[in-house]
Structure 1
Amino acid sequence: MTVLASALDVTGPEYAAHRSAMLDKLAALEAEHAKAVAGGGEKYTARHRARGKLLARERVELLVDPDTPFLELSPLAAWGSDYAVGASIVTGIGVIEGVECLITANDPTVRGGASNPWTLKKALRANEIAHANRLPVVSLVESGGADLPSQKEIFIPGGGLFRDLTRLSAAGIPTVAVVFGNSTAGGAYVPGMSDHVIMVKDRAKVFLGGPPLVKMATGEESDDESLGGAEMHARVSGLADYFAVDELDALRQARRVVSRLNWRTVADRSGGVEPPLYDQDELLGIVPGDLKVPFDPREVIARVVDGSDFDEFKPLYGASLATGWARLHGYPVGVLANARGVLFSEESQKAAQFIQLANQRDIPLVFLHNTTGYMVGREYEQGGIIKHGAMMINAVSNSRVPHLSVLLGASYGAGHYGMCGRAYDPRFLFAWPSAKSAVMGPQQLAGVLSIVARAAAAAKGQPYDEETDAGLRAMVEQQIEAESLPMFLSGRLYDDGVIDPRDTRTVLGMCLSVVHGAPVEGARGGFGVFRM
């Protein structure tokens, strides 16, 4: 039998403590998400509504098919920075007329929808997802262009947005722009480089330079409507393919455009969908509040995969990494899950073999992180931990099947790399509120700095100040702890969002559906040199 038997005691005090800690983290997360939803705040939201306009998320809600989920991406972008949480843009994946699409929507309540450095990073990540997974792109545009005070961080890399639109089109991936308001300066190239363009009467204003800039540059007197209004672009310039009488009409026309794309995917569920045997609500009580306390990732797997059926690969070898085959929402997956934190040589070799097998069979891989990294020490260095860890990282780097990563607990050091962290281009990467990620744990990092400082003082024959050392260690521990938390990392787009553990199966199912929009083909070689 390959159905997992759960040993989780949902009536015990440990489960209650873990659940309570997770719920506290979820409450804090919800408060930060609320800031993104609030956009520019009550004043600017009221002004926007007074103009008869819908909010960004309302536009998205009306665009997607009724009663279908919208997987919002990077909602905490810019968290901890000088810019508004959410980075003045909504990005995500939704279903329009039965077609999975990548949707972006400027939030005009935040500085008129102007793009800041985090807006750019978030939009570029959305385009990357669209290209990798062959998702049609629908842009809901209302932006005053670049946030001028921060232009030095936007102008040079910002051209990548327009490059991406043309590359998507060249790859046969449809792009649709719906213009609700200003689309100025560089923003004018979003409709200019999209395959299909819809503009709203008396609202859309698309021009490279508005009347003040035209006056300064040429001396010409002009007005918004004759310079870049929707009717002018529909009747004179030809930039607008469709002319909408209002926002609702524009969204209706956008849905019609998508319905006429004749868009087909290669998605295929060769098996039925069977729910897990265990309640997904129980995922709240699995990960301890203290990540030094181990937990069995099979308890997570049992509540995520179809039928809780997990066919484990090499269960008696390399026991601190669980690997095996399963189905998730009907899609075959290979799962790698850290069982006891540390990765040894055996786990590294096991992972490399498993990844190669997944590539031979064209099966996507799911990585569930809870690792402190690769084992250190004389015995392990002599045993070849470097070359074996490199073997695992080599396999991850050159694997061609889609990778989906979820940070459950710790994800430290090179173990983060071996488990397909952000630098290794997973198609999607999400984190639980319990996750932490850094070069190493706060205490270890502070301790290393202390040892180095002590050695430096001894080499100079100087006394070592223990009081200063204690203060330095406390400061460093506090800094590294803060910088390893999921909201901090998500704010920098090191993941695609921090999710409620109970949503893990749904989120992964949506991602698997998306990645099957493009052919799933594994590497048949080309893994580089495995050092034996």
Structure 2
Amino acid sequence: MQPIESRLDSRSVEFNDNREAMLQEIGRFRAAEQLPVTAELEKVERYRQRGWLLPRERLNRLLDPGAPFIELCALAGYKLHDDRDGSGAGGGAICGIGQVSGRRCMVRVDNYAVKGGTISPAGMDKALRMQQIALENRLPIVALAQSGGANLMYATETFAPGGRGFANQARLSAAGIPQVTVVHGGATAGGAYQPGLSDYVVMVRGQTGMYLAGPPLLKAATGEVADEESLGGAEMHCGQSGSGDYLAEDDADAIRIAREIVASLPPPSFRYQPPDYSEPHYPIEELLGLIPADSRKPYDVREILARIADGSALLDFKPEFDRQTFCGHIRIEGHPVGVIGNNGPITPGGASKAAQFIQLCEQSATPLLFLHNTTGFMVGTQVEQLGIIKHGSKLIQAVANASVPKISIVVGGSYGAGNYAMCGRGFDPRFIFAWPNSRTAVMGATQAGKVLRIVTEQKMQRAGQVDEAALEKLETDTATFMQANSDALACSARLWDDGIIDPRDTRKLLGMLLEICREAEQIEPRQSTFGVARF
């Protein structure tokens, strides 16, 4: 591999303008992430009086001190459905990959302090995504549960996916992936099956309430009068029904028990130790000024690699053949990875080049990293005659069927079928993150406005009356709508990615993700036909 020679001028006016624009975008998504934290802290005294730890306090007690935590889908549901102020970002839960008793785990903490931890449609999508990540990477799941259940205003949108969540729990258990749940508070109706389907259940004395029907519903349905403890309290479930396995005295004690359960699990048989590696030759801070504030301006994806690759070293694949699509080999914190990036639209030649490169990485079991910055596939008479549909389909076939871990970072625009070809959300990348300046949409906002104007104008011409004012308004309104719904915050709210990241965290994050993928290949869980059941 040869070191990349950067041509970026970090002292230029353009660099400083780009840097300021990127810092503003970072500020926007950090402010959005802070909204549920602020909402949680506003209620601290109320929960202190009940003896409860706040959701993020529970998370901190669960995780190993000082170990990294990758929060996932922190902005799920941001300003969607009934979340008017953005405080519902996260979809009712704090989720991510962290270390518990020395073991890497998928962690879910219900955020009961914001909207009662109720689950919105985005929150349900997030829960299913966490299960998918746990299954693909063979991560034990630890859940700290205390939720108001489904948001009844949107129950019709969460009911069927909720069933999938329960089916996933059963299949995770059968796949040999342990699930540990601490029931900190109420768990009613469908919410009772989440701990019921877990492999290990911890309950809190005087605090847990788990039942298919709570006292009010029970009285309304059958006329029976029962108190919460005899109906579904922790002592009853641990001493009589057998639905609980461990009885804790308070929140902290319950989390201690959960950590001990994880510590009792057999460790992975093998932990990958990457070889010694060197840091990039160029400061990662320069990524802030690298991406043009004007998305129409091009830049070389190699400039990004110079700041995230070990020793800024690259083995460029077919560098003289279709330079608009980049392919090459690098290492990140010792992990080999094949990179596909965009220096322009995807042409027939670029599609063929990337498809070949993907097959080579599949042959050598090399993970793939996609750096999105594409307007999509090239259009026009010439490329149609060269078979852009045929060659583009070949690339999509390769992306869809490659079995090596695929990681996507949306560093700029990701438009149309280019998003598919670069392993967007619909192609199930193992992980997908976005930079705060990024945009994802079927096409650019300006182009969308013009397309609708042209189509509508043709209809008006056939009718014999063209209204220029109406056409102008249609074009402007369409562009404005597309612009507002294609930025990083809007896309992350819909779970089109696993989170927005500061560009300066890219190398560190990729190093951890590649390590997670590598470890998953070495873990051999003991599978069975059925999951673990209580008898």
Q: Does the Cα contact within 8 Å between 1:407 and 1:430 map onto a contact in 2?
A: yes
Structure 1 residue corresponding to 2:320, chosen from 316, 322, 328: 316
String of CA shifts for 1:332-381, please: whole Å, max 9, x gaps: 11001112x21111110000000000000111100000000111011111
Q: Does 1:143 align with 2:143?
A: no
Answer whether contact 1:88 1:115 (CA < 8 A) is retained.
yes
For 2:131, which of 127, 130, 150 is the aligned residue?
127
CA shift at 1:267, angstroms? 4.6
Match in the other structure for 2:494: 492
Q: Does the 8 Å CA contact 2:272/2:519 hold for their aligned counterparts?
A: no
Matching residue within 99, 118, 129 for 1:114: 118
- Report the Cα distance in structure 2 between the residues aligned to 1:430 and 1:287, rounded to whole angstroms: 16
In the alignment, what sits opposite 1:215? 219
> What's the offset of the Cα at 1:58?
1.5
Match of 1:519 among 501, 518, 521: 521
Query: 1:527 maps to which residue?
Result: none
Cα distance, 1:49 vs. partner?
Answer: 2.7
> 1:263, CA displacement in angstroms?
3.0
- Paired letter, 1:382: Q
User: Structure 1 residues 273, 222: closer, same or farther in 2, change over 3 A?
Assistant: farther
Determine whether 1:235 maps to 2:239. yes
Once the two structures are TM-superposed, the CA of residue 41 in structure 1 deviates from its matched residue by: 6.4
1:397 deviates by 0.8
Map of 2:510 onto structure 1: 508
Q: Does 1:465 align with 2:467?
A: yes
* Aligned mates of 1:239, 1:275 — CA distance in 2: 51
Name the structure 2 match of 1:398.
401
Identity of aligned residues (%): 46
Larger mean CA deviation between 495-504 and 445-454 belongs to 445-454
Mark the CA change 1:265 to 1:291 in structure 2 (over 3 Å): closer, same or farther.
Answer: farther
- Taking the aligned partners of 2:111 and 2:505, their CA distance within structure 1 comes to 26
Residue pair 1:435, 1:486 contacting (<8 A) in 2 also: yes
Deviation, 1:185, is 1.3
Note if contact 1:25-1:433 (Cα within 8 Å) is conserved in structure 2.
Answer: yes
Aligned to 1:477: 479
Inter-CA distance 267–129: structure 2 relative to 1 (3 Å threshold): same
What whole-Å deviation, never above 9, does each CA across 1:272-295 have from its counterpart, x for those lacking one? 233222211111111111110011
Secondary structure of residue in 2 paired with 1:493: coil
Aligned residues: 518
Letter of the 1:426 partner, please give it. P
TM-score normalised by the chain length of structure 1: 0.95
Aligned to 1:171: 175
1:413 aligned onto 2:412: no
Does the CA contact (< 8 Å) of 1:68 and 1:95 recur in 2?
A: yes
Partner amino acid for 1:95? Q
Distance 1:448 1:267, change over 3 A: farther
Instruction: Give 1:271's aligned amino acid.
Output: P
Report 1:88-487 matches (<5 A): 88-264=92-268, 266-339=270-343, 341-460=344-463, 462-487=464-489
* Alignment-mate amino acid for residue 116 of structure 2: G
Moved more, 451-460 or 321-330: 451-460
CA distance in 2, matches of 1:123, 1:7: 43
Give 2:91's aligned residue. 87
Deviation (angstroms), 1:266: 4.8
**Distance in 1 between residues matched to 2:208 and 2:282, nearest whole Å:** 51
Equivalent pair of 1:273/1:330 in contact (CA under 8 Å): yes
Q: How far did 1:318 drift? A: 1.4
Deviation per CA, 1:172-228, whole angstroms, max 9, x where unpaired? 011100111111111111111111111112111111111111212222211111111
Using the alignment, how far apart are the partners of 1:355 and 1:452 within structure 2?
A: 38
SS of the residue corresponding to residue 3 of structure 2 reads: coil
**Residue type at the aligned position of 1:494:** W
Contact preservation (8 Å) 1:336, 1:366: yes
Counterpart Cα distance in 2 of 1:312 and 1:49: 58
- The answer for the alignment partner of 2:73 in structure 1 is 74
1:490 is matched by which residue type in structure 2?
S
Distance 1:265 1:310 in 2: 32
Change (3 A) 1:307 1:59: same
Instruction: Provide the rounded CA distance (Å) in 1 between the counterparts of 2:295 and 2:332.
Output: 27
1:524 paired residue number: none
Q: CA RMSD in A?
A: 1.6
Aligned residue in 1 for 2:13: 13
Displacement of 1:89 after TM fit? 0.8
Tell me, what secondary structure is at the counterpart of 1:517? helix
Is 1:417–1:423's contact at 8 Å kept on the other side of the alignment? Answer: yes
Q: Which runs of 5+ in 1 are unaligned?
A: 522-532
SS at match of 1:102: strand
Code of the aligned partner of 2:118: A
Q: Show the counterpart of 1:526.
A: none
State the distance in 2 between where 1:467 and 1:139 align: 56
Structure 2: gaps of 5 or more residues: 524-535
Deviations 1:4-28 (A, max 9, x none): 1111111111110000000011111
**Range 196-205 or range 398-407, more displaced:** 196-205
Give yes or no for contact 1:73–1:497 (8 Å, CA) kept in 2.
Answer: yes
1:168 Cα offset (Å): 0.6
Contact 2:77 2:120 in 1 (8 A): no
Check whether the contact 2:36–2:114 (CA below 8 A) recurs between aligned residues: no
Contact 2:192–2:211 (8 Å) recurs in 1: yes
CA distance in 2, matches of 1:31, 1:106: 21
Counterpart Cα distance in 1 of 2:518 and 2:203: 32
**Residue 39 of structure 1: CA displacement?**
4.1
Distance in 2 of aligned mates of 1:386 and 1:55 = 53
CA distance in 1, matches of 2:220, 2:114: 27
C-alpha distance 159-16 of structure 1, shift in aligned 2 (>3 A): same
Tell me what 2:37 maps to.
37
Aligned-partner Cα distance in 2 for 1:117–1:467: 38
The aligned residue for residue 529 of structure 2 is none
